[in-house]
Amino acid sequence: MAGSLNKVLLIGRLGADPEIKQMVNGKSVARLSLATSNTWKDKNTGEKKEKTEWHRIVIFNEGLVNVVQQYVKKGAQVYIEGELTTRKWKDEKSGTDKYSTEIVLQGFNSSFKILSSKNNASPEIQNNKPEKSSLPSEENVSVNDLDDEIPF
């Protein structure tokens, strides 16, 4: 095998407020519980069905931890990119090995975007400073502006 890829992309809603803790080295870490749902219509009954998966998210990136701490609350819809990691530890009570699989956001290979807060407003809108997009919208682009020539 020439290479491998460990990348997780999720869009979901937070099931609880983020948990922010200080590590021994003085840096902060954020822990999130993210729910993703899949809905479908049962072919036999016509009934609407839904399945929810819960994901443990751990953020070590100091900048992202600050954003999460300031703007993200239970119910917020977020987009995350990270990598899958499994931790192993020993249960103090039983002495058995325990495992936990988490999506870790750390370094430059991760991304975190707030899609909507609990009240469906982004932080920019909550501060009354909506950002203008520099991308052309459908209203201000005519069909003649689209060039058919491809430069490759």
Would you state the pLDDT for residue 118?
65
Q: Residue 133: inside a domain, yes or no?
A: no
Using an 8 Å Cβ cutoff, are 102 and 40 in contact? Answer: no
Residue 44 lies in a domain: no
Cα 60–118–69 angle (5° rounding)?
25
| CATH number, position 71 | 2.40.50.140
Does a structural domain hold residue 43? no
Burial of 106 (0-12, 13-18, 19+ CB in 10 A): middle
135 is a domain residue = no
Residue 100 resides in a domain:
yes
CA distance 59 to 104: 6
Question: For residues 60 and 141, what is the distance between their CA atoms, to the nearest angstrom?
Answer: 42
Q: Would residue 80 count as lying in a domain?
A: yes
pLDDT of 66 above 60: yes
User: Cβ of 28: how many Cβ atoms within 10 Å?
Assistant: 17
Quick one: tokens of 135?
């991308």
Residues with Cβ within 8 Å of 59's Cβ and at least 6 positions away in sequence, in order, are 29, 30, 31, 32, 65, 68, 104, 105, 106, 110, 112
Could you list the residue range(s) of the whole structural domain that residue 61 is in?
8-38+50-127
Q: Looking at the whole model, is its pTM more than 0.75?
A: no
Residue 85 lies in a domain: yes
For 25-59, how does the pLDDT look when each residue is reduced to its tens digit (9 = 90+)?
999 999 999 999 999 999 999 999 999 999 999 99
Residue 150, pLDDT above cutoff 70: no
User: How many separate domains does the chain show?
Assistant: 1
- Let me know if residue 89 belongs to a domain: yes
pLDDT, tens only, 110-131 = 899 999 876 544 443 233 333 3
Give yes or no for residue 138 having a pLDDT over 50: no
Contact 51, 37 (CB under 8 A): yes
Distance of CA 51 to the CA centre of its chain: 18
Instruction: Using the structure block, give the residue that is written with the tokens 């950002």.
Output: 131
pLDDT exceeds 60 at position 84:
yes
